[in-house]
Structure 1
Amino acid sequence: MRRSLTFVLTLLSCYSFAQSADDLQLKWEVVENGHQGKAQTLSTFTLINRSKQTLPASGWTIYYNFIRFVTPGEVAPGIDAEHVNGHLYTFKPNAAFKGLQPGDSLKINVVHVAWVTNYTDAPDGPYIVWDKQPEKGYPLPYTVIASTRPEQLRRTAADTHPQTTAADIYRKNANTKDIPLEKLPKIFPTPGFYEEKTGSMTLDAQTVIGTDPAFLKEANFLADILGKRIGKPVKVLTDAEQGTIRLKKYKHAKIGGPGYYVVSSDTSAGFYVITSETAEGIFYGIQSFRQLIPLTGKPVLPLVFVADIPRFKFRSLLLDVSRNFQPKQQILKVLDLMAFYKLNVLHLHMSDDEGWRVEIDGLPELTEVGGRRGHSVDELTALQPSYGSGPDVNNTTGSGFYTKADYIDILKYARDRHIKVIPEIEMPGHGRAAIKAMDARYARLMKAGKPEEAAEYRLSDPEDKSEYRSVQEWKDNVMNVALPSTYKFIEKVVDGLMTMHQEAGAPLDMIHMGGDETPAGVWEQSPAAWKLMRSDPKIRYADDLWYYFYDKVAKIVNSRGLQLYGWEEAGMRKTKRDGKTVMIANPDFGNRNFQLDVWNNVMGGGMEDLTYRLANAGYKVVLSGVSNYYFDMAYAKDYHEPGFYWGGYVDVDKPFYFIPFDLYKNSKEDGQGNPLPPGTFTGKDRLTEYGRENIVGIQAALWGETVKSPQQLEYLLLPKLLGMAERAWSTDPAWATEENEARAKEMYDSAWSRFANIVGKRELPRLAALNGGYNYRIPPPGALVENGKVSANVQLPGLLIRYTTDGKEPTAKSPVYSAPVAAKGTVKLKVFDSAGRGSRTVIVNP
């Protein structure tokens, strides 16, 4: 009887809490990095019972996401920590837990790998599940307590400079010179040839566009832009010999190639001419012409002559919409941004462990299950929460996908802007969303008594006992490459994508088939793999299945007339050197027109030359290095800067100072932001003339783990994207090839000043208005205390520093900094743009 009464009281207590999870609160903070002298961190969760009832001694589990692996075991009296899968962890009461009284709190100390040095590293999305209602999760009120003490901010005890200070920023900004606006070129990225002539021309209500019929679509695009600027519809004539602006088809004798164009003006004739042999070139000429139009006031344009051609044919932006979803409208806004800066490839990363984001005919579970995240008992209706997406499947970051109609709209929008969309289907690793979706399909069809149909597209072998853990801690995220159904699935998806591209009038000619981060240990205990290995003498070890897989994938892709594209590991082979396993360029694929994204160039990490090794081996290589072009890396070593930093910190200068054919020359710091030691590149492979021909372009990547809104996407993307656009479009600047080191630095400093002024004075004001405005990052000010006065400067001239000395937060109406500030108390400084948006505040005490 007593046992029954206790059970009833527990149920009632659980019911009360379940109706209002707000009665519980969770806080988290770092205690110390480098705990016990190891590469691990001690942190503390505090569970607070704010209700008038006791939190029961049993019958509940708290779930949360954390990108750091937590050591399992008892972490508080009566509380056990467990790893579920991926980045999902739990706290559960054990038999020793006595409950938590009203008003009481419980400290839960956990130890986890690596370190935590900014707020985006913190655990996220905690929720509670009651045993009596196992299918339902209730979000918990949650607070991250900011780190401020040295032991919370440094990675290890030996880390003497754990944060970028205002003085660091000041010293870095000190070499940037202010250049008057009128002396800055009006077209960006820097054209091959630009000359401004005497005179000007005004666009008015009489403006007319005349075009060669082949460029009618581009003419209408320009007419729409000019109509909005002039305030009156602009007429388009299909006659290139008439009009204020004329789009002419012309093959230039001296320049040529994909994307070239010429913009010229004649004050006596009173018209502009944009010429090219192709619609692509005309479109780029239109983008340059747009930049000549003042943002405000009367649209008076200078008379110019511009001759231009892109340096690389492949100028790409990767957007990861799998980890956290971005709505269609945001993708269209990004496409407009890309078009403006003459980028021509959108690499859409639409599948990964945490989400599948595009409909495929005949496989509804891919989006019905793989396109949703939330709490579930068996993951047959949704994937488990990741990156703090929480228990509710209706969340807008973990859940979401593009319908066929959405995807076709994206393709058409990109097509009209001369941007190729390359879909990525990640495999065989990073394939969990697809694997779980096909498991759900299997369960549905087995229940319906259709075993053959159920197994048709299955990606997992239920008898596989292989044990592995991916970089993101998944235990079950690799497709089984020994199953014939895996290849049938690949064919089905490729055909579905090709059909949508065809319907959009943007035929697919290249597809990205992943190949990234397949963990050790996969397939080793799979009966299907053993059977395949016995039947094929070329497959001696489980590792050989990798080459078997990509040979099959290449044949599927190539048989459909597509070029195969993948991550660097897809072009690598394991072998032995001095008894140790090493990775070399796989000679089997180098001559098969196989294109690779090479990301692993962490400075000081030992793989800095991988890009050049693969290009020298015959692979078509896209420069996608994390050290310069992973835009999800934080701007600076600052607790308040969002983003990761495992590959280093990527500020606006890193994409700009990258030298494509000599990446060693201008590399300045390692992955922790420290100066590179001498000899870092000694013995590294250099690019051969043959290899140079295989470098096809540059790609910036914005991975989505920390990107939970369109605003966060734009913050990490801009203004970094401008440096990448400059390097992908324009020829090598003089400082990149200057052999005298001192002279090269002097030339670089001058070029950087010019670029920084262009960004601050021309491009940011433009981005504040373009397409409704972009949420670009405004850099915080640099500040230095000298002789009792506060000196300040800014990274991008044209932005204003405002300050206060009364302790109040600076606003867009606060005094503008113009000279060192003498103050006895606290000085607060903040950078503002022309639209009144501000940076983070810097606080200085003279």
Structure 2
Amino acid sequence: MKLKILATTILATMFSASSFAAMVNKSTIVVDGIQVGKMDGDNLPEQFSLMFNFHNTGNEIKVWQLGFYMPRSFDSLALQRINPEQTMQICDAAGGDCVALKYVRADNVNNVDKAQGYFTLLAPVSQFSLKPKTNYYIKIAHNNQWSSGNVSSLPQSLFLTINDENSDGVPKIYTIHTELSQYQILNYDQNLIDRQIQDNIQAKWLASQPKNIPQVGIIPSPVRIISGVDGDFTLPAKTITIHNQLNSDNAIVNLWAPIIKQDWKLTKKVVIDNDTNASNGILIQSISDPKAIQNNPEGYRLTIANDNITIEALTATGVYYAFQTLRQISAQSANNTLPSLVITDYPRFKYRGVLLDVARHYFTVNEIKTLIDVMANQKLNTLHIHFSDDEAFRLALPSYPELTATASNRGLGQSIGPAMLLQNNLDATNLRQPEYPVANSVYGGSYSAIDIQSIISYANANQITIIPEIDIPGHARALIKALPHAMIDTNDSSQYLSVQGYRDDVLPVCTYGNDISVGNSFTTTINTIVNDIAKIFNQQTTLYAVSNEVSLGADEVSNNAWTNDTSCRNEWSKLSALDKSQLFIQKLAQNNNSLMLSGWQQMVQSDGVALGKYALPTSQVGHVWVWNPTREGVKQAANLANSNYPTILAYADKSYFDLAYSPSITEPGFTWAGQFMDTANVLSLAKAADTTISQSANSQNILGLEGALWSENLPSFDHMMYMALPKMPALAEASWSPSYNVTRNGKTNWQSLANRLGCGKNGYLSYLNKLYGVNYRGYPDGIAKEVPEDFCSVNPEGILNNQ
């Protein structure tokens, strides 16, 4: 496994010293202010302008380029009406000369990257020196990619390159420091935003069910909790015996025995046996009346009596979830006793998932395992890992070692250029990481075969299935960069820009299965890659693992892709880009009929509701995720279910965890699908599921829900957990707990969930922090930032008491 590499560091005031420090200096350019927003001439709703005001405190700089990260494209393509009116210039602020600026990109995808995607590099079109003690401004006017709303979308990580200075081909950069106070989003009113935030909190609170405080606070809430008639169960001081009377396979018991020893502070190890005659300790049995748990293989009944604890289930998975519930109850115990009660429980949906994007930002194996721990604690059962995108390919494949050798690293001077350069001092979630990559850092990471097997084994032991995803035929730029001999069709001179600002991120689909151009090499290569991935992730041991499943993503192909590709002949010649994408996937499936292919709705569906002409047959589809916001997504999902596709609801406006909690300037995350992607909003995914089911004649094909952690804005594990918590418990509640509990009379149980999440050192958020060392938004005050101001003053302890 490769670790995150920061090959360069800024001066000691920002970054720790390293042997690479000479490659990065602090610029003599001082920023006086940066303005973003509507300016003169921005007449269309989507247009904005950007103004950098600065001065030079050092010597004259004659040959220079300015670089920065901002999640907007500053490239232009009239064919798609992308920035057709954009102008860029630098001017002497005293009224002197102005010179136009050009967008500096590489000539073709084979070359080392310059500007691309959301990384911008600008240079004057003619000589323009930056003189000492002189004020300048750079104005980029009439960009039509929508203005900034918060810190995540501001221009940041600014730098200069000077005179093409480099070391072994890696450009030397001069960083330009900025503070949040130097930015101005025009027409932004913090007082107005604060009122909107409080109004949103109050409205969602009043629109939810009045809180119903149960005897114990469990997340997700069980189907039924009944107080027992026996006395409480007293925790032993030394040891306890777990009697597995369900079967002779003790794998689950062996997993939980050391956890119980630790949680209960036992002095001796837990004893395990298969004694069918035992009647004390912890008894694991086959449930005598399976209808009580709806014959659900993940269901269980947990009975706590004064002399024993009984777990009844149909499978080891049900036993596992009973232990998770028991663990939460134990965390709330007082006086070393557990309350007498009977819990009957089973999930609403069989699929309860989280997507983790490791392409845009890399997370270590241990970080992924911690995420698995947090998910499993909430009875989530699927981790959908996005291994490749335009910015990286991170899955090591023995057949093609160049995939990770080339496509797992990025930075100036690398084949794949810089991307997602968030600035560490602007990131409010950055609690422990003084170093973030800069433009010429070699940022990378990949997962070896050993890493992947370790992740799969750990996940499966915790009842979580891993679904691998590589994104093709669009979002495939890293794959193209790594294997140009097989992935670049010289017959294709199409002009397009993807949503993320790439001109060259689609595979040569029209050559698949023929000998035109790179057809033979491309066909063999892509078949091998997909089959190798299927083999790596095959034979998982979880209940709902789909054999030979690989997700191809298959989303967001530009409408202008392959429009000027002479390889697109015969059946390909008159098809739209989406039809070509779907025909390619259909042919790929036909040639690899043992595979189960999954993807986002564009894999099989038109941009509307109808199925595509070349939609895969349902018999060869593992899962279809619907990401469109509910306005379009509900109808799309209902139609997919009615057409017998295994459908997962991942509506962006309800379940994209990477979106901002609120519209405050300091709140990280994108806002394209909504201004308030908070915990109450995620919980309302349960209502969206109700609506989708009501519109589906074949609602049994709606398998479940998924939350997404797209990582464009997640440069660290702390940032990832900030966006995941407390949203993830709302996803767990929506996907596990019965609809009649979560959305009674059209109102969610938000007040109940908030009460269980807690306000301070007690509550579920504090519980997760203590168990796994993870932080959350609002730490250490629990859910206080998302509830009415008086809630936590009245309920400072919540209902979980995890001393």
Q: TM-score range by the shorter chain?
A: 0.7 to 0.9
- Residues 163 and 353 from structure 1, CA distance in 2 versus in 1: closer, same or farther, beyond 3 angstroms? farther
Provide the rounded CA distance (Å) in 2 between the counterparts of 1:211 and 1:132.
69
Residues 366-405 of structure 1 correspond to what in structure 2 (within 5 A)? Answer: 366-376=403-413, 379-380=414-415, 382-388=416-422, 389-395=437-443, 399-405=444-450
Query: Which residue of structure 2 lines up, in the alignment, with residue 618 of structure 1?
Result: 644
- Residues 369 and 150 from structure 1, CA distance in 2 versus in 1: closer, same or farther, beyond 3 angstroms? closer
Query: Which residue of structure 2 lines up, in the alignment, with residue 68 of structure 1?
Result: 72
Count of matched residue positions in the alignment of Structure 1 and Structure 2? 707
Matched letter for residue 95 of structure 1: S
Matched letter for residue 486 of structure 1: F
Question: Which secondary structure does the structure 1 equivalent of 2:686 belong to?
Answer: coil
Residues 637-648 of structure 1 correspond to what in structure 2 (within 5 A)? Answer: 637-648=663-674
Paired residues of 1:139 and 1:391 also in contact (CA < 8 A): no
**Does 1:127 pair with 2:132?**
no
Query: Which residue of structure 2 lines up, in the alignment, with residue 741 of structure 1?
Result: none
Q: Cα deviation per residue 1:581-603 (whole Å; 9 max; x = unaligned)?
A: x6622364364353311011254
Query: Which residue of structure 2 lines up, in the alignment, with residue 335 of structure 1?
Result: 372
Query: Which residue of structure 1 lines up, in the alignment, with residue 397 of structure 2?
Result: 360
Paired residues of 2:733 and 2:742 also in contact (CA < 8 A): no
**Does 1:697 pair with 2:704?**
yes
Matched letter for residue 123 of structure 1: P
Paired residues of 2:27 and 2:159 also in contact (CA < 8 A): no
**Does 1:23 pair with 2:28?**
yes
Match of 1:140 among 150, 163, 175: 175
Provide the rounded CA distance (Å) in 2 between the counterparts of 1:49 and 1:434.
41
Query: Which residue of structure 2 lines up, in the alignment, with residue 478 of structure 1?
Result: 506
Q: Cα deviation per residue 1:671-709 (whole Å; 9 max; x = unaligned)?
A: xxxxxxxxxxxxxx9844533121111001111011111
Moved more, 69-78 or 422-431: 69-78
Residues 80-119 of structure 1 correspond to what in structure 2 (within 5 A)? Answer: 80-82=101-103, 84-101=115-132, 103-111=133-141, 112-113=143-144, 114-119=146-151
Q: Which is bigger in relative contact order (C-alpha 8 A, separation at least 6)?
A: 2
Provide the rounded CA distance (Å) in 1 between the counterparts of 2:678 and 2:60.
49
Residues 437-836 of structure 1 correspond to what in structure 2 (within 5 A)? Answer: 437-439=482-484, 442=485, 458-483=486-511, 484=519, 485-502=521-538, 509=547, 510-529=549-568, 533-534=569-570, 536=571, 544-556=579-591, 559-560=593-594, 562-573=595-606, 584-586=610-612, 588-589=615-616, 591-592=618-619, 594=621, 595-601=623-629, 603=631, 608-648=634-674, 649-659=676-686, 687-733=694-740, 736=743, 738=745, 744=746, 748=748, 751-760=749-758, 762-778=763-779, 792-794=789-791, 798-799=795-796
Query: Which residue of structure 2 lines up, in the alignment, with residue 78 of structure 1?
Result: 99
Query: Which residue of structure 2 lines up, in the alignment, with residue 454 of structure 1?
Result: none
**Does 1:223 pair with 2:253?**
no
Report the CA distance between 1:392 and its aligned residue: 3.3
Paired residues of 2:383 and 2:465 also in contact (CA < 8 A): yes
Provide the rounded CA distance (Å) in 2 between the counterparts of 1:170 and 1:583.
34
- Residues 689 and 799 from structure 1, CA distance in 2 versus in 1: closer, same or farther, beyond 3 angstroms? same
Report the CA distance between 1:296 and its aligned residue: 7.2
Provide the rounded CA distance (Å) in 2 between the counterparts of 1:566 and 1:481.
17
Paired residues of 1:354 and 1:386 also in contact (CA < 8 A): no
Query: Which residue of structure 1 lines up, in the alignment, with residue 282 of structure 2?
Result: 245
Matched letter for residue 754 of structure 1: S
Paired residues of 1:759 and 1:796 also in contact (CA < 8 A): no
Provide the rounded CA distance (Å) in 2 between the counterparts of 1:695 and 1:549.
26
Q: Cα deviation per residue 1:180-199 (whole Å; 9 max; x = unaligned)?
A: 99745333212122112142
Provide the rounded CA distance (Å) in 1 between the counterparts of 2:156 and 2:347.
43
Paired residues of 2:285 and 2:311 also in contact (CA < 8 A): yes
Paired residues of 2:578 and 2:606 also in contact (CA < 8 A): no
Give the percent of matched residue pairs that are identical in Structure 1 and Structure 2: 23
Which has the larger Rg? Answer: 1
Question: Which secondary structure does the structure 2 equivalent of 1:609 belong to?
Answer: helix
TM-score calculated relative to the size of structure 1: 0.77
- Residues 495 and 235 from structure 1, CA distance in 2 versus in 1: closer, same or farther, beyond 3 angstroms? same
Paired residues of 2:232 and 2:304 also in contact (CA < 8 A): no
Matched letter for residue 469 of structure 1: L
Report the CA distance between 1:240 and its aligned residue: 4.8
Report the CA distance between 1:18 and its aligned residue: 7.0
Paired residues of 2:494 and 2:563 also in contact (CA < 8 A): yes
- Residues 798 and 478 from structure 1, CA distance in 2 versus in 1: closer, same or farther, beyond 3 angstroms? farther
Structure 1 unaligned segments of length 5 or more: list them.
Answer: 1-15, 443-457, 575-581, 665-684, 739-743, 785-790, 802-832, 837-846
Q: Cα deviation per residue 1:274-303 (whole Å; 9 max; x = unaligned)?
A: 121211111111111111103576532112
Query: Which residue of structure 1 lines up, in the alignment, with residue 514 of structure 2?
Result: none
Report the CA distance between 1:174 and its aligned residue: 6.5
Provide the rounded CA distance (Å) in 2 between the counterparts of 1:40 and 1:780.
37
Provide the rounded CA distance (Å) in 1 between the counterparts of 2:227 and 2:272.
27
Provide the rounded CA distance (Å) in 1 between the counterparts of 2:458 and 2:346.
23
Moved more, 642-651 or 31-40: 31-40
Provide the rounded CA distance (Å) in 2 between the counterparts of 1:283 and 1:236.
15
**Does 1:37 pair with 2:43?**
yes
Q: Cα deviation per residue 1:132-157 (whole Å; 9 max; x = unaligned)?
A: 435323251321444887834279xx
Matched letter for residue 33 of structure 1: K
- Residues 223 and 105 from structure 1, CA distance in 2 versus in 1: closer, same or farther, beyond 3 angstroms? farther
Report the CA distance between 1:734 and its aligned residue: 5.8
Provide the rounded CA distance (Å) in 1 between the counterparts of 2:181 and 2:797.
28
Provide the rounded CA distance (Å) in 1 between the counterparts of 2:802 and 2:289.
42
Paired residues of 1:29 and 1:145 also in contact (CA < 8 A): no
Paired residues of 1:348 and 1:422 also in contact (CA < 8 A): yes
Report the CA distance between 1:756 and its aligned residue: 1.4
Matched letter for residue 115 of structure 1: S
Query: Which residue of structure 2 lines up, in the alignment, with residue 54 of structure 1?
Result: 60
- Residues 727 and 796 from structure 1, CA distance in 2 versus in 1: closer, same or farther, beyond 3 angstroms? farther
- Residues 297 and 231 from structure 1, CA distance in 2 versus in 1: closer, same or farther, beyond 3 angstroms? farther
Provide the rounded CA distance (Å) in 2 between the counterparts of 1:26 and 1:634.
27
- Residues 107 and 652 from structure 1, CA distance in 2 versus in 1: closer, same or farther, beyond 3 angstroms? same
Matched letter for residue 101 of structure 2: D
Paired residues of 1:32 and 1:151 also in contact (CA < 8 A): yes
Provide the rounded CA distance (Å) in 1 between the counterparts of 2:369 and 2:696.
38
Paired residues of 1:18 and 1:130 also in contact (CA < 8 A): no
Residues 239-388 of structure 1 correspond to what in structure 2 (within 5 A)? Answer: 239-242=275-278, 244-250=281-287, 252-254=289-291, 255-267=294-306, 270-294=307-331, 298-376=335-413, 379-380=414-415, 382-388=416-422
Report the CA distance between 1:169 and its aligned residue: 5.6
Report the CA distance between 1:438 and its aligned residue: 0.8
Provide the rounded CA distance (Å) in 2 between the counterparts of 1:834 and 1:93.
62
Paired residues of 2:559 and 2:576 also in contact (CA < 8 A): no
Matched letter for residue 263 of structure 1: L
Match of 2:468 among 407, 423, 426: 423
Report the CA distance between 1:319 and its aligned residue: 0.7
Query: Which residue of structure 1 lines up, in the alignment, with residue 13 of structure 2?
Result: none
- Residues 143 and 537 from structure 1, CA distance in 2 versus in 1: closer, same or farther, beyond 3 angstroms? closer
Paired residues of 2:31 and 2:177 also in contact (CA < 8 A): yes
Report the CA distance between 1:178 and its aligned residue: 12
Q: Cα deviation per residue 1:368-398 (whole Å; 9 max; x = unaligned)?
A: 111111101xx54x44434445333444xxx
TM-score calculated relative to the size of structure 2: 0.80
Matched letter for residue 554 of structure 1: A
Report the CA distance between 1:661 and its aligned residue: 6.2
Provide the rounded CA distance (Å) in 2 between the counterparts of 1:178 and 1:797.
18
Query: Which residue of structure 2 lines up, in the alignment, with residue 151 of structure 1?
Result: 186
Report the CA distance between 1:62 and its aligned residue: 2.1
Paired residues of 1:567 and 1:598 also in contact (CA < 8 A): yes
Paired residues of 2:36 and 2:184 also in contact (CA < 8 A): no
